[in-house]
């Protein structure tokens, strides 16, 4: 049978036109992920961190603890105040049918770091044996020489409080580090969802164009109804995916807006964040440095030192309370101590509870806690070693998966380009072409997922290694807070 040359020419032209159409509507992977395609305010990661620390009250809550630390010494150490005491009473001598006022005024001061107690007292009133006013003035110095000898226990307490304050300052920095890791992870999630949304929108548009094309082919009697239905299913599947991606993006966007208290109507657009602090190749060397100079192990060492000092302080409490007393007393008549008598005295005051069960129990418990604290340090060492080693391996894995994803995208682009041409000339089936489209979409989603996971793992690596933030970073981010550098 002789072929119609006109029909052959028309068919070739139609197929060639479809080939040109597919090549024009196919978009390379790198063009799919251009954020500038959507109008809005671009919010970079650095600006997001600054806005969060300025407006997020969770960050202010972390800094509140810094304000209390300067009062810790005054709260826990013995008061250095000059104490004024006044006592006034009216005395009734019932057997003598008379009464008189009696007043005592005293000043006392403790010198905590020597343990010295100085007391000045003045008293005026009437005695039982005389109706005349008598008065006395005295000055006494008490110096402990056993328990808290020359202020030893107080000086130990000062060291303990100092360690507690240092640890608290470290913990404030760590709390901010945890906070910063949380908001950075939220930003990475937002950017990941944004990239996925761009891919989903582009994929939906491409498949919608394919559906328009296949409908046109069906009207030209070139495509079968089953092919139209296959493409319709493909478009509906892409639309379903797009609806899910839009919801995920809105959820992550709302988290970002809450963190910076964003109220403007202009939509926010994320900017691709750069990688931070990839670990070096030698894990053993990095962990050795971490265990020797990190904030985490410095906290552990200070807590061990605190436990040891507490044992010494509790041991000091087992000693008897012995005070050397030295004083001078002046007694006489009237308010101005007339016809006075002088008295200089020295002595000792002893208080020794038997068997002192409470203080002994406190001492025994503090000794046990020293061993417990050392075990905590050892266990933390091995726990962090395992945790960081596993995290190191995860980072290496994600880095490899990112490289693999890049290679897969390049291959998927080439395959889709070839399958587009082959399908337009009828060399492959519609199923093969749809599979090539889906494979390309899957590789794009896979690349975004692995790149985002890689960045999140790097943040976690820096957080666990105490390298994500320092006290200086807090001052730079929030000038109103001025935590002291540990």
Domain CATH for 249: 1.20.1600.10
Residue 146 shares a structural domain with residue 44: no
**pLDDT confidence of residue 28:** 45
Distance CA 479, CA 484 (A): 13
- Give domain status of residue 486, yes or no: no
Q: Which of 78-92, 189-203, 288-302, 366-380 has the lowest mean pLDDT?
A: 78-92
Per cent of the chain over pLDDT 90 is 62
Is there a single domain that holds both residue 227 and residue 96? no
Indicate whether 398 and 306 sit together in one domain: yes
What is the structure's pLDDT at 353? 86
pLDDT at 197 exceeding the cut of 70: yes
Residue 163 near residue 172 (C-beta atoms within 8 A): no
Same domain (yes/no): 252, 146 = no
Long-range pairs, 95-103, Cβ under 8 A, ≥24: 96/128, 98/131, 100/125, 100/126, 100/131, 100/133, 101/125, 102/126
Binning the chain into helix, strand and coil, the percentages to the nearest 5 are 65, 15, 20
- Judge contact between 102 and 96, C-beta under 8 A: no
Position 486 scores a pLDDT of: 33
Rounded average pLDDT over 217-222: 86
Any domain includes 485: no
How many structural domains is the chain composed of?
2
Residues 300 and 416 both lie in one domain = yes
Q: How confident is the model over 35-39, as a mean pLDDT?
A: 49
Q: Please write the tens of the pLDDT for every residue from 227-261.
A: 899 999 999 999 999 999 999 999 999 999 999 99
Between 332 and 34, the more confident residue is 332
Give yes or no: residues 460 and 372 share one domain: yes
Phi and psi torsions of 387, nearest 5°: -65, -45
**Per-residue pLDDT tens for 352-386?**
888 889 999 999 999 999 999 999 999 999 999 99
- Spatial contact of 243 and 433, defined as CB atoms under 8 Å apart: no
Domain membership of residue 113 as a residue range? 83-150+320-356
Q: Are 340 and 330 in contact (CB under 8 A)?
A: yes
115 has pLDDT over 90? yes
d(CA 422, CA 181): 49
Please spell the DSSP secondary structure of 45-75, one letter per residue.
HHHHHHHHHHH-HHHHHHHHHHHHHTTHHHH
pLDDT > 80? residue 26: no
Per DSSP, which regions of 94-209 are E strands? 98-111, 116-126, 133-144
Assess whether 128 and 41 both reside in one domain. no
Same domain, 94 and 23: no
Q: How large is the average pLDDT for residues 61-89?
A: 89
Residue percentage of the chain with pLDDT more than 70: 87
| Number of other residues whose CB lies within 10 A of the CB of residue 117 | 16
93 and 71 within one domain:
no
Residue 111 included in any domain: yes
Q: Which residue has tokens 């969802």?
A: 193
Residue 463 belongs to a domain: yes
Does the structure show a pLDDT above 80 at 462? yes
CA angle 195, 200, 201 (to 5 degrees): 100
User: Considering the domain boundaries, does residue 484 fall inside one?
Assistant: no
pLDDT at res. 480: 46
Does residue 449 register a pLDDT over 90? yes
325 and 392 inside one domain = no
Q: What confidence score (pLDDT) does residue 418 get?
A: 93
Average pLDDT, the chain: 86
Both 55 and 175 in a single domain? Answer: yes
């Amino acid at each position: 049978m002789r072929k119609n040359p006109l029909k052959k020419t028309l068919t070739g032209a139609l197929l060639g036109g479809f080939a040109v159409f597919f090549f024009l509507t196919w978009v390379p992977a790198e063009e799919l992920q251009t954020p500038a395609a959507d109008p809005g305010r671009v919010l970079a990661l650095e600006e997001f961190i600054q806005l969060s620390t300025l407006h997020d009250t969770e960050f202010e809550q972390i800094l509140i603890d810094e304000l209390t630390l300067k009062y810790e010494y005054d709260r826990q150490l013995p008061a250095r105040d000059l104490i004024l005491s006044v006592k006034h009473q009216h005395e009734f001598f019932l057997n003598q049918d008379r009464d008189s006022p009696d007043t005592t005024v005293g000043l006392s001061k403790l010198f905590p770091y020597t343990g010295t107690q100085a007391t000045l007292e003045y008293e005026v009133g009437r005695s039982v044996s005389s109706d005349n006013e008598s008065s006395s003035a005295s000055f006494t110095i008490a110096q402990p020489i056993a328990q808290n000898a020359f202020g030893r226990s107080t000086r130990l307490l000062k060291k303990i409080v100092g360690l507690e304050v240092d640890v608290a300052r470290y913990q404030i920095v760590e709390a901010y580090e945890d906070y910063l890791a949380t908001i950075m992870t939220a930003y990475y999630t937002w950017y990941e969802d944004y990239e996925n949304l761009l891919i989903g929108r582009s994929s939906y548009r491409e498949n919608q164009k394919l559906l328009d094309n296949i409908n046109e082919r069906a009207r030209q009697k070139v495509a079968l109804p089953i092919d139209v239905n296959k493409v319709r299913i493909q478009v509906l599947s892409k639309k379903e995916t797009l609806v899910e991606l839009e919801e995920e993006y809105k959820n992550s966007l709302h988290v970002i807006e809450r963190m910076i208290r964003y109220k403007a109507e202009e939509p926010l657009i994320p900017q691709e964040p750069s990688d931070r602090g990839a670990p070096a190749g030698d894990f053993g060397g990095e962990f050795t440095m971490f265990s020797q100079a990190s904030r985490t192990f410095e906290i552990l060492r200070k807590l061990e030192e605190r436990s040891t000092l507490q044992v010494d302080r509790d041991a000091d409490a087992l000693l008897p309370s012995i005070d050397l007393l030295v004083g001078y007393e002046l007694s006489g008549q009237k308010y101005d101590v007339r016809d006075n008598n002088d008295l200089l005295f020295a002595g000792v005051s002893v208080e020794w509870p038997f068997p002192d069960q409470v203080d002994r129990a406190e001492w025994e418990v503090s000794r046990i806690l020293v061993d417990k604290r050392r075990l905590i340090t050892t266990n933390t060492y091995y726990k962090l070693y395992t945790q960081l080693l596993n995290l190191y391996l995860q980072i290496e894995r994600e880095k490899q998966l990112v490289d693999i994803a890049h290679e897969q995208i390049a291959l998927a682009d080439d395959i889709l380009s070839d399958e587009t041409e082959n399908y337009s000339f009828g060399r492959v089936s519609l199923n093969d072409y749809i599979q090539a489209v889906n494979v390309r979409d899957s590789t794009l989603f896979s690349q975004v997922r692995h790149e985002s996971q890689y960045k999140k793992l790097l943040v976690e690596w820096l957080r666990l290694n105490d390298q994500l933030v320092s006290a200086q970073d807090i001052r730079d981010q929030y000038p109103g807070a001025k935590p002291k550098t540990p």
